[in-house]
Structure 1
Amino acid sequence: MPRLLAIDYGIKRTGIAITDEMQLIASGLTTIPSETAIAFLADYFSKEKVEKVIVGKPMQMNGQPSESTEIIEKFVVLFQSRFPKMPVVRADERFTSKMAFQTMIDSGLSKKQRQNKALVDEIAATILLQGYMAGNY
C-alpha cells in the first residue's frame, strides 16, 4: 500500500511526515529548506510510493486565511504543476505548531532541544498527518 505524506510548508523550513506502508503510523521524516521542497519531493517520490499528500492550510482563529496563506498557495500550485497526478488534500494547521511544542515538552526535551525550529516543523507535519489519518479533515 502506498504511503501518505504530509507537508508543513513554511517560508524558511518545511516539515515532512510520512506514514508506514500500511498507513497505520505517522512519523516525522525530515525538515528541509523550503526552497528545496520540490526537488526533495521529486527524489522521494522516485523511491517511495505515495498515495496522497496532505498540505497544511494556515488559518487564523476566526477561520480566515493567515498571512502565510499566499506563500503556501503558490507552493501548492507549483506542486500540482510538477506532480499533476498526485492527489493533494488541504488540512487546517492552526494548532499544529503549538501542539508540536507541547509534545516536545511532554516528551521531556530540554529547553535547548525545544528551540530547534526544524524539529518543531517536523513534529507539526506529523501532527497534521495524524489528524488526517484520524479523520479530522
Structure 2
Amino acid sequence: MDTVLGFDFGIKRIGVAIGNTMIRQAQPLSVIAAIANEARFAAIGALISEWGPARIVVGLPSHPDGVEHEMSARCRRFANQMHGRFNLPVVLVDERYSSAVIAAKRGEVIDDRAAAIILQQYFDDYAQSN
C-alpha cells in the first residue's frame, strides 16, 4: 500500500489531497496559501515528511479541446520542481473539469477538493497501469 499526494496548482493557492493505492479513494487534505515559492515548497516538504508518499500527482489544466495554455506550462514547471526537490515520481493528470464539478459558494476555497478530484481521477484512470 502506497500513499499518494495530489496537487491542484494555482498561482494564489495549491490544493492538496491524499489517498493510497489500496483503498484508491482520494480525500481533501489541505490548502497551501503561500505565494512565495520557498514558503510553498516548505509547506509541501512538511506534508511529504509527514505522509511519506510514494508518488505525487499534479493536475494539468488545458482548454476543453485539450489544447494547453499558460497555466499548463506553469503546472508542468511545478511538477518538474516537485520531482527535482523531493525525488519522487510525479504523474500529470488531466484536470480540465476538476473545479467545475464542485458547487462552491462565492469566495469559498475549494482547492483541496479540486485536488481530491484530480487524485481520484488518477486512481480511477491512471493507476491501473502503474
Q: Which of 63, 67, 71 is the aligned partner of 1:64?
A: 67
| Paired letter, 1:15 | G
| Paired letter, 1:63 | G
1:32 maps to what in 2? 32
- Structure 1 unaligned spans of 5+: 105-113
> Is 2:82–2:90's contact at 8 Å kept on the other side of the alignment?
no
1:10 maps to what in 2? 10
Label 1:74 to 1:20 Cα distance change in 2 as closer, same or farther (>3 A): closer
| Paired letter, 2:92 | R
- Secondary structure of 1:25's counterpart equals coil
TM-superposed CA distance for 1:115, in Å, is 2.1
Distance across 2 between alignment mates of 1:66 and 1:6: 21
TM-score, with structure 1 as normaliser: 0.80
Label 1:93 to 1:16 Cα distance change in 2 as closer, same or farther (>3 A): same
| Paired letter, 1:10 | G
> Is 1:3–1:23's contact at 8 Å kept on the other side of the alignment?
no
2:114 maps to what in 1? 124
2:47 maps to what in 1? 44
TM-score, with structure 2 as normaliser: 0.83
TM-superposed CA distance for 1:40, in Å, is 1.3
| Paired letter, 1:115 | R
Q: Which of 93, 96, 114 is the aligned partner of 1:94?
A: 96
| Paired letter, 1:26 | A
TM-superposed CA distance for 1:20, in Å, is 5.0
Between Structure 1 and Structure 2, how many residues are aligned?
124
Q: What whole-Å deviation, never above 9, does each CA across 1:14-63 have from its counterpart, x for those lacking one?
A: 10000158443211001112533311121122222211111001111121
TM-superposed CA distance for 1:124, in Å, is 0.7
| Paired letter, 2:14 | T
Computing the radius of gyration over CA atoms, which structure comes out larger, 1 or 2?
A: 1
Distance across 2 between alignment mates of 1:80 and 1:40: 15
| Paired letter, 2:119 | L
1:115 maps to what in 2? 106
